[in-house]
Structure 1
Amino acid sequence: MTSRTREIAEGWFAALTSGDADRALGYLAEDVEWVNYTPVPGYNDRMPWIGTYRGPAAVLDSLKVFLGMVDVRFEELVQLVVDGEQAMGVIAEESVVKETGQTFEIEFIQWLTVRDGKIVRWKSYTDPSQILRAIEGRAA
């Protein structure tokens, strides 16, 4: 099971970091649960792409909102840990908020659950303070 999970995770992260959205979406189960942080009113709700979504179409809509606001300059998988049906990838990202021109750099974790060759659950973890700073137009 671990080797199949690793294969799916490596494919997912390779597609994601190369910007191949069609290939990346192909790794998602039809009923994937996509948990991209929990919105907190008055704090991180200025990131309109966050929330919980179901299915590849909803995930794509969320990614379109993100890419409509943010220009991803660099994204790299820096660590991958796999155990059974679970995979955790640490991603380093540098992006620019289009409206403000402000850059942010973050590391975030994507926690994947893989079953029957598809990602059935995806959850993201990060400190959003650098993203929020850039959205607000405050220099680093």
Structure 2
Amino acid sequence: MDGTREVASGWFEALTGGDIERALGFLDPEVEWINYSPVAGYNDDMEWIGTCRGPQEVLASFQTFVGAVDVGAESLVRLVVDGDEAMGVIHETGTVKATGRQFEIEFIQWLTVRNGRITRWKSYTDPSQIIRAIRAQ
């Protein structure tokens, strides 16, 4: 059974390396995945956000995201681990395919790890850079 640091490090390495299949292997079959909360008229044009349950729904969310965005780069800026909780700060650049507009954000992924798997994942950020790129005319 892997510890929190090992699971979180593996997750972030796979994610920032673009290996979604490997990343999904770190998720518990019943993972609760909270990728922001949609707010009508504010961030709901980010079609990949919301709450998912299980790796298949998470994969569908990833597929929606990469259908809309070309990710330029993702890197882990910082990792903090405390017991069964881990927090990773991610720096991401990308381009919204429909508008050709680029964005740059930093966001936090908060993980709960139990029995060697991520059982809860929640994302925190200011999404205004992505929203501006989506809505560009």
Structure-1-length-normalised TM-score: 0.96
Q: How many residue pairs align between the two structures?
A: 137
Match of 2:3 in 1: 4
For structure 2, the 5+ residue unaligned runs are: none
Aligned-residue CA RMSD in angstroms? Answer: 1.2
State the secondary structure of the residue aligned to 1:64: helix
Q: How big is the shift at 1:131?
A: 0.4
**Residue 115 (1) aligns with residue 135 (2):** no
Q: How big is the shift at 1:137?
A: 1.5
Deviation by residue 1:10-31 (Cα, 9 ceiling, x = unmatched):
0000000000010000000000
Q: Distance in 1 between matches of 2:5 and 2:44?
A: 33
Q: Distance in 2 between matches of 1:73 and 1:128?
A: 17
Match of 1:101 in 2: 100
Q: After the TM superposition, which residues 116-135 of structure 1 pair with which residues of structure 2 at under 5 Å, given as runs?
A: 116-135=115-134
Q: Distance in 1 between matches of 2:74 and 2:136?
A: 22
State the secondary structure of the residue aligned to 1:11: helix
State the secondary structure of the residue aligned to 1:121: strand
Q: Distance in 2 between matches of 1:103 and 1:42?
A: 21
Q: Distance in 1 between matches of 2:77 and 2:41?
A: 32
Match of 1:19 in 2: 18
Alignment-mate amino acid for residue 82 of structure 1: V
Deviation by residue 1:50-92 (Cα, 9 ceiling, x = unmatched):
0000000000000100000000000000000000000000000
**Residue 46 (1) aligns with residue 16 (2):** no
Q: Distance in 2 between matches of 1:92 and 1:63?
A: 17
Q: Distance in 2 between matches of 1:111 and 1:10?
A: 13
Match of 2:76 in 1: 77
State the secondary structure of the residue aligned to 2:3: helix
Q: Distance in 1 between matches of 2:35 and 2:5?
A: 22
Alignment-mate amino acid for residue 109 of structure 1: I
Q: Distance in 1 between matches of 2:52 and 2:81?
A: 24
Q: Distance in 1 between matches of 2:64 and 2:21?
A: 16
